[in-house]
Amino acid sequence: MPLATVNGISLNYQVKGDRSKGTDVKGSAPLVVMVMGTGSGGRVWELHQVPALVSAGYRVCTFDNRGIAPSFESPAGITIEDLVRDTIALIEFLGEGPVLLVGQSMGSRVAQEVALARPDLVRKAVFMAGHARLDQFQQTLGLGEQELDDTGTKLPAKFEAAMTALMNLSPASMADPHTARDWLDLFEFTGGPATPGVRAQRRMDHDFDRRVAYRAIRVPCLALGFADDRMIPPYLSREVADIIPGARYQEVPDAGHFGYLEQPEVVNKILVEFFVA
């Protein structure tokens, strides 16, 4: 993935298209820009969303947010404003606005702010696990996560894997022993101490309320909730759709916070249908 110098930092990004349809050429097909959530790299979109969107005739830009190496890790601290300016600068660097913008969790918060601040750069926007605020549970969880980071405590790998599954997956995934084993093995293998950049992302503000501000968003928006999401419960995603004039809300069943990985075919179908509508 190439590095772009935008907003005074380096961002690791990639644009993919379908050569058979001629969509690997700049400007030849709509560009989808995808913004990932806390602690994850843009490559996560490559598992399911990028292939499906490319197959549907789109070009797709994924990137590592500030905080995720090899993008600038910004260990001294990260704000939502930093991430919003980074995303705006990357779209301008690509020279392809207005784009189709997709966010997940923290990435949805970024996408919401981009849609508000720069509607000229956004054709349509999708907010997976979007939210205009956090409730008391999410605020307490975030502060507890920061305290855990600060202590340097290393959790046993199996316990960390089990907690990751509990917070991010649907009970439907855990009910099947083979599916549960695959996920738990993956979380155990990929777990471990957070990097300085990820810790900086986790230290971002948790006490915010953008419900009034988002009434001014005017681009077509879809808020996508995951029915079993414990991290961002679906009522917070529905609230975003209720706030933004003309926005739609859709909910994916049997899906937790990682619903785009648990139910990729459903999510991808929703994305494409919204884009072409």
- Which residues are designated catalytic? 105, 229, 257
Distance CA 34, CA 100 (A): 8
DSSP-derived secondary structure for 18-33: -GGGTTTSTTSSPEEE
Q: Is 166 helix (H, G, I), strand (E, B) or coil?
A: helix
DSSP class of 71 = S
Q: Parallel, antiparallel, or unpaired for β 9-16 and 59-63? A: antiparallel
Asked if the bond preceding 98 is cis, omega within 30° of 0, the reply is yes
Question: Which of 153, 186, 196 lies closest to 258, judged by CA?
Answer: 186
